[in-house]
A = this chain, B = another copy of it.
């Protein structure tokens, strides 16, 4: 199985096509539509017995031109901002306001209560905690500011929210990602700055000279669009009614190429089917590769998949997702009962020779989480090395060239091995 994937695997070539011929593919965009067609073709080429689409309504957010500049004393600076996903724009107006920097929820609360955020552009300069070995722990902390920061500062009358990008890389690329509004508060623009821009702005604010910013953004939310999950399966030979799902999400943010997030998870899931076919292995249980739509700004695809599974009274034995990048795998997260964890951990020694040793974390994946909510399905999550993920995540850095072929393939191998073991032995 390792030899097949490392020597004959097609996931890297598939990823090249997805990244270079389709490109980034935000839900509702023409590229997302093209990606659906690509997915159907790739699953058929992998040898799936059946390939079908699941229709799903998705949010349709579009990014327009954006500009941000500020004067500090006599000097003028131009930033390279990037609107957060789902953000409203400035309605054709230019916002002109002073900037207040904060770095924690407490600080927002304190300054807000004193009226100091009113009519200001609030700059949330919360730093990524480099101390965690698993960078997802630091991400969780920062992502809260990204998702809910605009709500919180809008509560105190802020005109816009600027966010230090949730990123480990000190460069000029801003990182986008989902944000949310509270319908009872003003929907102010929410915009990410690269670490370089954030540091520049912070330095200039420290000078305590008059600082005035101009901000204009044309992003907006359109009515929901129709899109699809793409599903391909190999029917089980002994217990076809028992379904194993392996997946990634097909949509991506509208910058870069969505290579690690989550082209990797898609092509790895397709590789699972391809490997069974290429090796002429007939799984005992049914294995489905699912390319979920809209993980990034709504998770509508994941919801739909679980909803249909429930409606159709399907029996889902387990589901596994790869949505943490196409890096060298180190483990498999387990979100299931303790008894089920014990069963899976018995296979640990089979994975160790491939560098996959960590079966301790409670991790599944966003798209498959709805299967657990609806049907208590046991979940597995691929755990790649996390050091580089937030260098590229949701930014122009997330391109095909940032993916290493062998690392991607070892992730696919880990998923295939887990699917094989589950299809042979159940759970």
Contacts and interface: CB of A to CB of B under 8 A. Distances in A.
A3 B133 CA distance: 10
Contacts of A407: 387-388
Interface in A1-15: 2-3, 6-7
Interface string A382-410: 00010110010000000000001111001
A135 B404 CA distance: 13
Contact of A404 (B355, B391, B410): B391
A369 interface: no
Q: Nearest 8 CB-CB pairs, A to B?
A: A387-B406, A6-B130, A387-B407, A328-B385, A3-B131, A388-B404, A357-B357, A328-B387
Interface of A: 2-3, 6-7, 130-131, 133, 135, 168, 328, 330, 353-355, 357, 385, 387-388, 391, 404-407, 410
Given A387-B328, A387-B407, A388-B404, A133 B355 contact: yes
Contacts of A388: 404, 406-407
Contacts of A133: 2, 353-355, 410
A391 B403 CA distance: 12
B2 A135 contact: no
A6 to B, nearest CB: 5
Contact of A2 (B3, B7, B131, B354): B131
18 contacts: A3-B131, A6-B131, A7-B130, A130-B406, A133-B353, A133-B354, A133-B355, A133-B410, A135-B406, A168-B405, A328-B328, A355-B385, A385-B385, A387-B404, A387-B407, A388-B404, A388-B406, A391-B404
